[in-house]
Amino acid sequence: MLGIISKKTAESFSSDELFDLDKMTKEIIKNNNDPKIYENYILGYISPSSGIREQFDVLRFSDNCITNIELKSSIPKEGKAGIERQLKPSQIVFKCITKC
């Protein structure tokens, strides 16, 4: 089982997000032998700050990186550029976290 902390209830994830999360989890388990890959996941985190409000589908923290996974059941109309635009504000939050 993946080491997961959930900050969102299962009801607040869409059925597509839950399906994608299940699919992603099975791929991680199938393709990785390193037990550390299963640790430090956070699901559905919403930052508590009143100034910057960010929501994250899946975050994973390791010693040298932060992985932000945005669950998508299909490619948005804007394609890769739309996903990058959606993830860009997160970079600001992560830069603040890593400098603290």
- As given in the structure block, the two tokens for residue 66 are 């932060």
pLDDT for position 40 = 84
37 CB-contact burial (10 Å; exposed 0-12 / middle 13-18 / buried 19+):
middle
pLDDT for position 9 = 58
Global confidence as pTM: 0.67
Q: What is the mean pLDDT of each run of 10 residues along the chain (100 residues)?
A: 52 79 86 81 71 76 83 85 83 70
pLDDT for position 98 = 66
pLDDT for position 1 = 42
pLDDT for position 66 = 84
